[in-house]
Amino acid sequence: MGNESVVESESGMESRKNSSDSGTMEFESPQALDNVKQLVKPEKTNKKRILDGLFQDPLKISPSQLTQIVLGKNPISVLNEIFSTLAYEVESRTGPAHEPCFVMSLKVKNIEGTFLGTGPSKKMARNSAALTALACIFNLEQEPISDGKKKELLAQALSSSTSVILEDSSNEDDLILKRKGSRNGDKPILKRKKTEINLTEKNPVSILNELRVGLKYEVAGVTGPPHNPVFSVYVIVDGLKYYGTGISKKLARSKAAEHALQSFVQLPNNGILVPAINVGSDEDFTIDKIKEESNMSVVSPRDKNPVMLLNELYPNAVYNFTLNESDVVNRFKATISIEGDTFPGTGSSKKNAKSAAARIALAKLINYTPSDGQINGHGDSASNISRENMLKADEIGRMVNDKFTEVMGGDIQHSRRKVLSGIVMTRGQTLDNAEVICVTTGTKCISGGYICLNGTSLNDMHAEIIARRCLVNYLYDQLVLLTKPDLASTSIFVARDDNCGYKLAKGIEFHLFINTAPCGDARIFSPHEDSVVDRHPNRISRGQLRTKIESGEGTIPIKGCSGIQTWDGILQGERLLTMSCSDKICKWNVLGIQGALLSHFIEPIYLKSLVLGGLMKEPHLYRALCGRIENTLQGLPPPFNLNRPETLRSTSMEQRLAQKAPSFAVIWTQGMSQPEIVSTERGKPDAGMSLVCKHQLAKRFLEVAGKLSSISTDKLVLTSYAEAKESVKTYVSAREALYEAFKKAQLGSWVMKPLEQDLFEFPDLSQ
């Protein structure tokens, strides 16, 4: 270049400054300028261009278009603006797989000859061929250059961040290339490198990969605790290592790439390297208040993931996990240790278990209550949940699950279950003295061919139904204590004020836990519907009485059914119908969970709360438990009333598992050393009868009959099991009022078992 590239005088610069077609770009070094000049230096002779004569108006390339090429605009784009048809083909590919070399050919319509270009990728080879075509078609070369030299210069020109001044001279066909210098004749000011990549739209890793192909990122090390690791990653660029750190490998790679870019690329004033998590460029973090007109949403702590929030508040929290292979549903138990306190949570995966434990920890430490978005993550809703109720539900659910794990003792075969239920008794307002009365599993009913006439078989082996029978057995145990003067003070019962019968001692409450919504009306909804309000409360399907399917799962409405089943009809193949769990729990909320026989001695006992582990929609659950008969229930004799239990949901949610229901039910209640395994087809264990079948509960009734004072003045009839139940007039009257309430609400008629089932005589206690 020498003297040819000297800086123009001030007057020359002023004259060219006013040129309308001038373009501006700066060279990084004289070497880069020499390379481009040999390719793009204009022809000063009168030699005709090769396109002259082919078109009506000779084609010209404007200085601004040539400026765009040198500035970094894709030469293919410039060619496409001038010519309509371009054809590229791969001529050859050489070199190893990690460092290939492509040769591309370019043919332009109406122009003879082929233009070649090379590069480490097809894209760069096409660009090289397009640049060669531009230089040759418009006679931009001054002297012949060998093919090898041309390829070398092209590669250098393409890889360099070059910058020149292109201006019109007095001659139309003459272009002058000069360094951009100062107007006062000082030495040229060499501008720093610039990149043609739009830094505001790409992250550092993408930018670096475009500038340097084939880079490899290596993990240098990992520090920090397992729950909060810090990764160190490095990348080698031009023989130098650039390191980056972050809480994930992705963030560490981004930091390493950013450091590498900053070492050899000057970012423009408005250049922003996009992080892994995009942040709006128009946000102003210097203001303390967000503008009212802004649509930006603010993430409150209640909307954050509980684990994320816990890690922000307590970065030193330690997570421990244990695997229980015998429990398919809650396989993992997470324990979070913070400042000497532990917070447990269970789930089907580590993620779910950790999330449940984090909710409990936050609730106890900072009075955290999850938002609707957090509590409804699995199609559930529990509006207006308080911190105390959430902790209460979690503790009750944990107690039942832990007791089931303890009782099964590693029996993997019988630990399989779909529905788990249990009843917890509390003494007072706190759970300090809470105890598990029973735990049960089961999802099926007896086969019609195995129903019996002596009460030795269980008809309904759904977990929550068996749990109530276990509670009845426990209540008999407490009544037996009253018959022993030295143990009467330990019973949960105390005498009524009129000394006729008994009632629960003050503070005694019972809580029913079910890991899912009870079958029937409480479960008839879409699990993932967003609304917590029933938008169609008047649908005909809402609140209908439903029956379970024999030898299957699920329920069907009973409309059109007479409500009467016959013994011989069932034996001949008619389906044995059993009322759904939702309907039976609704019945308990009117008549009590003690049943007819115990109503001889004690006041009705109602559930204080119902805790679910999943599939909870509060409007549907409330309707199923009591809401559907609120307006039609009339004429209840005292002390019966319509109970409205608290409906709570545990944070340790159970996921839906598509599996076949086990053909057995597990029963454990206080006083049993080993759980009882009952066949759901026969309604009996392999040997003998169940502890909570009608026959055994009738025996328990005889133990206290005649030894305890009765509430009713009616004479106790002990001729048969059925007559003993029907002799409690107030209970029978309340039951009839309940059945009439269902009919008035047009919800169907209650289906009874064949009358012959309860006609057996009371067993002999000596046997």
| Sign of the CA dihedral running 66, 67, 70, 72 | negative
Q: Which helix (H) or strand (E) holds 611?
A: strand 609-612
Residue 382 vs residues 143, 287, 385, 622: alpha-carbon distances, Å:
83, 37, 6, 11
CB 642 within 8 A of CB 626: yes
The encoded tokens of residue 399 equal: 């107690």
DSSP 6: P
418 phi and psi angles, rounded to 5 deg = -105, -45
The encoded tokens of residue 662 equal: 């086990």
The encoded tokens of residue 426 equal: 């509390």
CB 431 within 8 A of CB 388: no
Q: What share of residues in the chain are helix, strand, coil (percent, to 5)?
A: 30, 20, 50
Other beta carbons within 10 Å of 598 = 24
The three-state DSSP-derived secondary structure of 723-734 is HHHHCCHHHHHH
d(CA 86, CA 79): 8
Kindly give, in sequence order, each residue whose CB lies less than 8 Å from that of residue 736, ignoring residues fewer than 6 positions away.
none
Catalytic residue, from 395, 464, 603, 676: name it. Answer: 464
CB 90 within 8 A of CB 102: yes
The encoded tokens of residue 575 equal: 């389906």
- What SS3 class is residue 474? helix
Residue 49 vs residues 78, 135, 143, 477, 724: alpha-carbon distances, Å:
18, 11, 14, 112, 118
Taking each helix axis as running N to C, give the angle between helix 350-366 and helix 387-408, from 0 to 180 degrees, rounded to the nearest 10: 140
| 464 among known catalytic residues | yes
| Sign of the CA dihedral running 731, 735, 738, 740 | negative
DSSP 540: T
Look up residue 120 and give its amino acid: P
- What SS3 class is residue 642? coil
CB 16 within 8 A of CB 142: no
d(CA 477, CA 64): 100
What are the strands, taking DSSP E only, across 408-525?
420-427, 435-441, 443-445, 460-462, 493-495, 502-504, 508-514
d(CA 130, CA 137): 10
d(CA 503, CA 492): 8
The encoded tokens of residue 511 equal: 């809580």
In terms of Cα–Cα distance, which of 44, 34, 352, 29 is closest to 193?
29
Judge if the upstream peptide bond of residue 639 is cis by omega within 30 degrees of 0. Answer: yes
63 phi and psi angles, rounded to 5 deg = -55, -35
d(CA 651, CA 606): 25
d(CA 128, CA 146): 16
d(CA 624, CA 514): 15
CA 510 to chain centre: 33
Look up residue 181 and give its amino acid: G
CA 228 to chain centre: 21
d(CA 668, CA 677): 9
d(CA 492, CA 597): 18
What amino acid positions are annotated as catalytic residues?
Answer: 464
